[in-house]
A and B are shown apart, each in its own frame.
Chain A
Amino acid sequence: MGDLTRVTIDFERSHLVFPTIVAAVLAVLGLAIVLRDRRRIAGAGAHWRGIWRDMDRVRFLGTLALTLLYFTLMVPVGRIWPNTGLGFLVCSIPFVLATGLLFMHDRGWRQVLPVVAVAGIAPTFVWWLFTYPFFLTLP
């Protein structure tokens, strides 16, 4: 028994021990899934076409695009007024407004007004809260 169970771990290479084991387990499990679900995997194309067909593409892709734009602009805008968190504020107001409008169904005045109000108030309040009482960094 003794020798079989002995292991020496070289500290300099110890960062690879666990990832190797986990990767091996992952590969075995992956293989088992492929074997078990091969029929379902073969039909994946249809599955994804169905998802694409059924989804609300404007709202879904719109959300992704707006989020991407929001994240991309925050830091460069913030650098104009360094360490004030204004990058967050200036980008959040249009983002909340735009996603709000995107998610709405009836875009009458009565419905839009609360969205505009929230888009103005919520980011400003959060910005104030984080900048003054909490003294935390925002972009």
Chain B
Amino acid sequence: MIEAVTTLVTPTFLLLVLGGTFTGIVFGAIPGMTATMAVAVCLPLTYSLGLENGLALLLGLYVGGISGGMVPAVLLGIPGTPSSITTTFDGYPMAQRGEGEAALRIGIVASLVGGLVSLGILWAFAPTLADFAIRFSYVEKFLIILFALTVMAALSSDMLLGIFSGVLGIFVALIGVYDISDGGNGNLRLIPPGTEYWLESGFSLLPVLIGLFGLAAVLEQAEAGVPRGHSAKDLAVGRAGGFRLRMLRGEGVNLVRSSGIGTFVGILPGVGGSAASILAYSNAKTFSKTPERFGTGAPSGIVASEAGNNGLTGGALVPLLSLGIPGDSTTALLIGAFTLQGIQVGPLFIGNNPDTWNAMIFAMIVANLAMFVMMYAAIRWFALVVTVPKHVLLPVILMMCVVGAYTINYGIMFDVWTLLIFGVAGWLFTKLRLEVAPFIIGFILGPSAEVYFVKSLESFGDLTIFFTKSWIAWVLWGLIVLSVAASASLSSRRRRPATA
């Protein structure tokens, strides 16, 4: 390792990691721009940079992009990237209480821990874990998704309406083609007659997300007449005081568990990046002593979400580097960086390219530390966003939502209309007392739930397979039952004081 570090790690290499991390944070922090987009934009540059330097840039972008998403999630209630959705649940309430800076500090620390834990796991166990991951067939993957879906119940303030919203999210996600590249048969369903031209591929996630969280928030402001003053006049910058380690007291288990969950979700190909923070969040809530505080501005929620999504970064590299299979959408692009240089990734990669492997680990360590330093130093600057008058901030947010929606799939106008449709839908939701958080979780997980459920039955032809497949299935069932029971007891506890 030391040898590789001295030969491959040049000042250029370090500068690229730092520049990548910085750019990644900026991408992540702008609603509608994602880590994946940052990597896609910079991928062509790596051809001339060479393999190690190119990877340095891309890995910096990856770590920065995943972390930057927390900034708008906390300060504006708009997740900067899909993986920071769960950060809004507690981060934004904290910001509204005037604790935005504290929330960011907690998130940044959790991100660093998540990143480093997953990196440690990647470095120590990559091939072993990949062998374990391939024991997850359609059945186990379906159960993981089902477990993640149970968080819908935990997130609902009204259980019935919340679950309805979540199932509605799944339903809306199924609109369009049953995607062949996911294993479907390519047929259309649930499309209102006459809309096939637009709805053939269904709605894509990012426009739906920024519509529900971004545009809907602007519409609510407009409805209320755009109250004077700052975007969160209830938020006083700097008043929260500095970060104290005390805030993280009692979060040790949560930090490690969430980082581990994030890493593990990354390792499983095909479960999807956003599932990492959702699973970490639902676990933290299930095992918390004070589950009722989640969703109202509990630091534990931010810790779980941010440790989870940064844990993903190291995890997603495990199947990439030991099987040649990407763990999430961003690492899928990293394959391109390798093939551009004529390097194969597969089970022999680490053994054949030990120097590149060590350089990658080193780049990830530097990127994580740089992310921490840069974001920590910039907290005050980030917080300035909320001092911008609303009549200036909101139009620019709208414009950025449009840019994000249009560019996410490289220029599809229907994605911009999706933004509007779901902006209005999000506004209607609050009026109908439907809940946005379970809806978006259903929307994200719906397509995977479908493929893994249908494929399980298609392959094994028996409903009992969900119980008999392996011991892993049993463990997952245990978690599902535990999570449902926890939500049910929380819901009845919440109701009792009201009825008594």
At the interface, yes or no: A42 with Cβ under 8 Å from chain B?
no
Are B170 and A22 in touch, CB under 8 angstroms? yes
Given A9-B457, A67-B420, residue A92 in contact with residue B399 (CB < 8 A): yes
At the interface, yes or no: A46 with Cβ under 8 Å from chain B?
no
Pull 12 A–B residue pairs with CB atoms less than 8 Å apart, ordered by A. Answer: A14-B178, A14-B454, A16-B189, A55-B224, A59-B223, A64-B219, A96-B398, A103-B394, A103-B395, A114-B389, A136-B41, A136-B407
Contacts of B461 in A (CB 8 A): 6-9
Contacts of A63 in B (CB 8 A): 218-219, 222
Question: What is the bound-complex CA distance between A90 and B288, given in angstroms?
Answer: 52
Residue of A nearest to B179 (CB): A15
Binds A, one of B249-257, B361-369, B373-381, B410-418: B410-418
Contacts of A15 in B (CB 8 A): 178, 184-189
Are B392 and A118 in touch, CB under 8 angstroms? yes
Contacts of A64 in B (CB 8 A): 219, 424
Question: What is the bound-complex CA distance between A76 and B164, given in angstroms?
Answer: 40
Question: B-side binding surface: helix, strand, loop or mixed?
Answer: helix
At the interface, yes or no: B129 with Cβ under 8 Å from chain A?
no
Q: Which residues of A contact B (CB under 8 A)?
A: 1, 5-9, 11-12, 14-19, 22-23, 25-26, 29-30, 32-33, 36, 47-48, 51, 55-56, 59-60, 62-64, 67-68, 70-71, 74-75, 88, 92, 95-97, 99-101, 103-105, 114-115, 118-119, 122-123, 126, 130, 134-139
Question: What is the bound-complex CA distance between A42 and B164, given in angstroms?
Answer: 19
At the interface, yes or no: B2 with Cβ under 8 Å from chain A?
no
At the interface, yes or no: B4 with Cβ under 8 Å from chain A?
no
Are A19 and B189 in touch, CB under 8 angstroms? yes
The residue that B396 contacts in the complex, of A22, A75, A118, with Cβ under 8 A, is A118
Are B174 and A36 in touch, CB under 8 angstroms? no
A-B pair count, CB < 8 Å, reads 168
Are B464 and A126 in touch, CB under 8 angstroms? no
The residue that B222 contacts in the complex, of A5, A62, A68, A114, with Cβ under 8 A, is A62
Are A56 and B392 in touch, CB under 8 angstroms? no
Contacts of B392 in A (CB 8 A): 100, 114-115, 118
Contacts of A75 in B (CB 8 A): 413
Given A18-B450, A71-B416, A115-B391, residue A26 in contact with residue B226 (CB < 8 A): no
Question: A-side binding surface: helix, strand, loop or mixed?
Answer: helix
Given A18-B174, A118-B396, A126-B403, residue A5 in contact with residue B160 (CB < 8 A): no
Contacts of A119 in B (CB 8 A): 395
* Among B168, B392, B446, B450, residue most surrounded by chain A Cβ atoms (within 10 Å): B392
Question: What is the bound-complex CA distance between A75 and B415, given in angstroms?
Answer: 13
Nearest 9 CB-CB pairs, A to B? A56-B225, A15-B178, A103-B391, A137-B411, A18-B450, A99-B395, A5-B463, A63-B222, A15-B187
Known: A12-B187, A92-B399, A105-B226. 14 other contacts (CB 8 A): A5-B463, A9-B457, A15-B184, A15-B188, A33-B161, A67-B398, A74-B402, A95-B395, A96-B395, A99-B394, A100-B392, A100-B395, A105-B391, A114-B392
Q: How far is the CB of A107 from chain B (nearest CB, A)?
A: 10
Contacts of A33 in B (CB 8 A): 160-161, 164
Contacts of B390 in A (CB 8 A): 103
Q: Which of B437-480 contact A (CB under 8 A)?
A: 446, 449-450, 453-454, 457-458, 461-464
Are A26 and B171 in touch, CB under 8 angstroms? yes
Interface string of B253-279 (1 = CB under 8 A from A): 000000000000000000000000000
Are B407 and A104 in touch, CB under 8 angstroms? no
Residue of B nearest to A122 (CB): B396
Question: What is the bound-complex CA distance between A58 and B321, given in angstroms?
Answer: 56
Q: How far is the CB of A90 from chain B (nearest CB, A)?
A: 13
Are B226 and A59 in touch, CB under 8 angstroms? yes
The residue that B462 contacts in the complex, of A5, A88, A103, A138, with Cβ under 8 A, is A5
At the interface, yes or no: B386 with Cβ under 8 Å from chain A?
no
The residue that A130 contacts in the complex, of B167, B218, B407, with Cβ under 8 A, is B407
At the interface, yes or no: B190 with Cβ under 8 Å from chain A?
yes
Contacts of B289 in A (CB 8 A): none
Question: What is the bound-complex CA distance between A138 and B404, given in angstroms?
Answer: 10
Residue of A nearest to B166 (CB): A29
Question: What is the bound-complex CA distance between A101 and B394, given in angstroms?
Answer: 11
At the interface, yes or no: B496 with Cβ under 8 Å from chain A?
no
Given A12-B185, A19-B171, residue A139 in contact with residue B454 (CB < 8 A): no
Contacts of A36 in B (CB 8 A): 160
At the interface, yes or no: B400 with Cβ under 8 Å from chain A?
yes
Contacts of A114 in B (CB 8 A): 389, 392
Are A56 and B222 in touch, CB under 8 angstroms? yes
Q: How far is the CB of B180 from chain A (nearest CB, A)?
A: 10
Question: What is the bound-complex CA distance between A105 and B406, given in angstroms?
Answer: 31
Question: What is the bound-complex CA distance between A15 and B176, given in angstroms?
Answer: 10
At the interface, yes or no: B246 with Cβ under 8 Å from chain A?
no
Q: How far is the CB of A53 from chain B (nearest CB, A)?
A: 12
Are A104 and B391 in touch, CB under 8 angstroms? yes
